[in-house]
Structure 1
């Protein structure tokens, strides 16, 4: 009988493919961070070497639970869900990505007063956390610092904040804000209002506001603070902000809602006050939630790719759990033109 062949390892695959071991790990998980050509090459070599990932043995060696905890922030909503509808589509993507990578998903709500590290990692309920939503970022930041100091494996959806050593996946809010603003300016609108918090309490909205301001400046239009009115991401808040704008007597012919929900609330206020959309006032939003295409008129918006976002959140968290050092991801937005801005 000939000598027994040793079992192939991920390092053998890495050597044959001419890539790092971490790239092999990602390719075998179908990570979107690895290009298609490299992924197929690595997987072909793995099949050739009859390489199999022993998930049970890996779990025993590392004492991992093979479970990811998804913690949602309880947002104010117009129904009993307390979940921002933008996150519902991302929840579906995260669930599928976890299943494809052999992880169970535990879904719960965030409790700012709780010790999440003890609740999940120390208790072995989960190997890492995905955080969606946060409310007031100035309060939330303390929780992120605490998790980081406890060496918790976690990734958050949201804007990257300067000097923050927290792994994040988010979209280019500045460019998205610039895109929708410039598009409406090209339709001949010049008195543009922004509805949404434009402060460090809401970094995503602030970046969208900065994009809006830059588009105005680049098109030789004046940025006026009186045309910025605070609102949170719920229809009622957008409605109230639009009513405040209307009742102020300030001249305006376009509204940028910092989220689709704010924009949808603003559309209702405009219609109740006799304004026609988009002839008298153009309206744009941000997110491209499902209902955006069913409003009357349908809502022009900056689309965030929730499918890719969910995949990247899961993939980067698993990489972190496996001892890798994934980078922050800034996803592009896509301008979705519908009838609320004319064309």
Structure 2
């Protein structure tokens, strides 16, 4: 008679490891060394052993899925979110896949659709929430929900210890120092700084620090109000350029505002970067196609995804505590700022 069904015991014998090691290796546990995992996988392939993923999840009580909620603006199609958040969503799904997880994505913007407890309902093993901070009702509802399981937030306007953000202060200092290196001395900050926009407040703080360290006077933030960031940037540019002491450079709190600033400056007859320098923040791909292409500060999207997933996939409390809270950023040189002036 032929041999019966191949089991994990057979794989363990062939690989020279325990059955529990086989289970952890094939589940992608980080506790297993790459060498051991490779040996187990080779033995499994040679024997024709395949993991019954559904049975494994039932035995472990885990779903193998992460829930990712994207918060949109109230009153709009919930899928109408910024290009930044679509990029962050993509990197988070990719990071989840690297750890062997599927992603369950939910776009939410209205109270009747709020749903956060995917772990409690048995749909996911962890929750990642990202999206616009201006939908205060959504974030307040999330904050009042007694969540089960691990969770982490990007865009959360509350400092409750579960957030992950870009290095906003450091990025702002990079931006301002680049403008100073191009010879600019009167640098305006465009963006609304309030409790609803904690990331803008952090960027303004970095702007202020960089200017003061250079012995230059920081200006008050010029608000960019409204749901349409590009339109807000256009309106703010008019305010800025009508000032009696007109600035020679603008640091916009995000790229969408910066794109509106560029449009309005062109309408008003100013040439960027010869007449005025402009720099944004977020690294949006749309900035590459602006006129001129927008110099910007870009978060490491791949690392952002990995950090978010690390918080909800940590196998120990120590691993969760050690996961980063700030995502590194870098300067992306395009053509909206003059070349560095050599002294």
- TM normalised by structure 1 equals 0.79
The one-character-per-residue Cα deviations of 1:131-167 (angstroms, maximum 9, x if unpaired) are: 11133376555344334x43342222248965x231x
The one-character-per-residue Cα deviations of 1:179-238 (angstroms, maximum 9, x if unpaired) are: 10111012111111111121221111111110000111011111232x532346721111
Q: CA deviation at 1:273?
A: 0.8
Paired residues of 1:159 and 1:204 also in contact (CA < 8 A): no
Q: Which secondary structure does the structure 1 equivalent of 2:133 belong to?
A: coil
Paired residues of 1:160 and 1:170 also in contact (CA < 8 A): no
- 1:291 and 1:77 map into 2 onto residues whose CA distance is 25
1:256 matched residue in structure 2 = 251
1:9 matched residue in structure 2 = 20
1:330 matched residue in structure 2 = 326
Larger-Rg structure: 2
Distance 1:315 1:224, change over 3 A: closer
Paired residues of 2:63 and 2:124 also in contact (CA < 8 A): yes
1:208 matched residue in structure 2 = 203
- TM normalised by structure 2 equals 0.79
Q: How does 1:311-322 map to 2 (within 5 A)?
A: 311-319=306-314
2:174 matched residue in structure 1 = 179
Distance 1:100 1:140, change over 3 A: same
1:61 matched residue in structure 2 = 59
1:21 matched residue in structure 2 = none
- 2:315 and 2:88 map into 1 onto residues whose CA distance is 20
Q: CA deviation at 1:69?
A: 1.8
Q: CA deviation at 1:81?
A: 5.1
Q: How does 1:37-116 map to 2 (within 5 A)?
A: 42-48=33-39, 55-75=53-73, 82-111=80-109, 113=111, 116=115
2:47 matched residue in structure 1 = none
1:26 matched residue in structure 2 = 30
Distance 1:272 1:76, change over 3 A: farther
Q: Which secondary structure does the structure 2 equivalent of 1:190 belong to?
A: coil
Unaligned segments of structure 2, at least 5 residues? 1-8, 45-50
Determine which of 280, 289, 300 is the counterpart of 2:295. Answer: 300
Distance 1:27 1:234, change over 3 A: farther
Paired residues of 2:212 and 2:218 also in contact (CA < 8 A): yes
Determine which of 329, 335, 342 is the counterpart of 2:338. Answer: 342
Matched, 1:274 2:273: no
Superposed CA RMSD in Å reads: 3.5
Q: CA deviation at 1:270?
A: 0.8
Determine which of 222, 225, 228 is the counterpart of 1:228. Answer: 222
Paired residues of 2:67 and 2:106 also in contact (CA < 8 A): yes
